[in-house]
């Protein structure tokens, strides 16, 4: 025999025997690990299954039956078939760029709605300032899907709602509402004038009077624009309807104080919705639940409704926030909670600040009978 061939055969046998000893050791090591793990089933990740399947496909089935210990050869072949199927499965693959996140899409729509003059480039620049690199074509596709036109078309015209939102922090609204008050002269209708700040919803009842004459309205305008505590200080626009009380002289005084008035079209209370909603709130809380005796009682009730509305009531229009949240500054007397709005009727007596539920209904009935003719008028 060729000595070289003999050496090769001996070396191959030694290597095979050495390899077999290594395999036996690894198998024994696996058995020890399984004994420590116990009878619980082994759990594999997808990446671990892939690694075992790739190694198993290079070994024939018979040899695999001899050396496989932690899983059966059939399981390894099943994993291998799944790996092949996943390789040629194109259902999960998408062509083109990946979709942008929903929050980023919402931000693009918000930029377009709040800035009518912004085109795709302006929106792209604003997103870059926030750390988002989005192409112009993606921005155009998002806006088209949301039904928002391109910037040149969005610039045309402006609705009242958009005008209000763009001037939110410098705009207020005003209006009147009326209520009946018992006085020494009988039943008198009082006009209550109030102003509401649109951004914060803060309300101020600025005056009440039986007949709002021009001199009274001019004084109200001076009070509103007074540099020392005027309710419209820092505000530029005041919305009101075409009531004759809002005369030209009233508007001129406001204009001299830096407040421009916006007269709404006739018969359009929906355009002054914030003021109309406060009228409803005031009537539901107080006006429709009380009988007022004298102007002082009406003033007291309105002041307490104002405190409740501005400092205690959450407002849905501003995310259920409270307008003035500093409860340490609340007055110790006259809080709205002192009035029981659940009572059927609550009376504020003339010349006093006290309140009480009616207990002597006979005296109340006699009062109305004595003034029946005034009521008829």
Residue 334, phi-psi category: left (phi > 0), alpha (psi -120 to 50), beta (remainder): left
CA distances from 74 to 58, 98, 345 (A): 14, 38, 86
Q: What is the pLDDT of residue 76?
A: 66
299 C-beta neighbours (distance < 10 Å), count: 17
Instruction: Determine how β-strand 203-209 pairs with β-strand 186-197.
Output: antiparallel
Higher-pLDDT residue of 50 and 352 is 50
Q: pLDDT tens for residues 203-232? A: 999 999 999 999 999 999 999 999 888 999
Tell me the angle at which helices 248-256 and 214-224 cross, rounded to the nearest 10 degrees.
Answer: 20
Is the separation of the CB atoms in 214 and 148 below 8 Å? no
Higher-pLDDT residue of 51 and 266 is 266
- State yes or no: pLDDT of 85 exceeds 50: yes
- State yes or no: pLDDT of 336 exceeds 60: no
The arithmetic mean of pLDDT across residues 113-136, rounded, is 85
Higher-pLDDT residue of 37 and 253 is 253
Q: What is the pLDDT of residue 151?
A: 66
Query: The whole model's pTM is what?
Result: 0.51
The arithmetic mean of pLDDT across residues 96-122, rounded, is 81
């Amino acid at each position: 025999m060729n000595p070289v061939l003999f050496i090769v055969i001996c070396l191959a046998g030694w290597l095979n025997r050495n390899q077999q000893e290594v395999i036996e050791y690894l198998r024994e090591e696996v058995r020890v690990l399984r004994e420590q793990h116990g009878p619980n089933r082994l759990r594999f990740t997808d990446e671990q299954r892939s690694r075992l399947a790739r190694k198993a496909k290079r070994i024939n089935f018979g040899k695999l039956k001899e050396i496989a210990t932690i899983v059966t050869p059939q399981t390894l072949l099943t994993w291998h078939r799944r790996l092949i199927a996943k390789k040629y499965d194109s259902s999960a693959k998408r062509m083109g760029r990946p979709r942008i996140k929903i929050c980023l899409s919402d931000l693009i729509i918000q930029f377009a709605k709040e800035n009518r003059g912004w085109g795709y480039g302006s929106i792209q620049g604003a997103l870059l300032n926030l750390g988002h690199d989005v192409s112009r074509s993606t921005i155009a596709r998002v806006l088209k899907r949301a039904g928002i036109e391109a910037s040149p078309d969005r610039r045309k015209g402006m609705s009242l709602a958009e005008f209000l939102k763009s001037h939110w922090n410098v705009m207020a609204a005003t209006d009147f509402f009326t209520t009946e008050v018992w006085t020494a002269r009988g039943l008198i209708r009082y006009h209550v004038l109030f102003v509401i700040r649109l951004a914060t919803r803060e309300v101020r009842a600025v005056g009440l009077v039986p007949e709002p004459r021009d001199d009274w309205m001019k004084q109200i305008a001076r009070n509103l624009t007074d540099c020392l505590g005027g309710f419209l200080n820092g505000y530029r626009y005041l919305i009101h309807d075409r009531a004759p009380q809002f005369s030209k002289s009233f508007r001129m005084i406001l204009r001299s104080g830096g407040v421009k008035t916006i007269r709404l079209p006739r018969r359009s209370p929906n355009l002054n919705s914030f003021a109309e909603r406060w009228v409803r709130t005031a009537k539901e809380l107080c006006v429709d639940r009380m009988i007022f005796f004298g102007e002082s009682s009406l003033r007291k009730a309105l002041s307490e409704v104002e405190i409740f509305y501005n400092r205690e009531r959450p407002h849905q229009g501003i995310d259920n926030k409270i307008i003035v949240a500093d409860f340490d500054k609340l007055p110790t007397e006259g809080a709205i909670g002192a009035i029981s709005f659940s009572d059927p009727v609550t009376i504020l007596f003339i010349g006093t600040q006290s309140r009480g539920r009616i207990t002597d209904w006979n005296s109340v009935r006699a009062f109305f009978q004595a003034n029946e003719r005034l009521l008829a008028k």
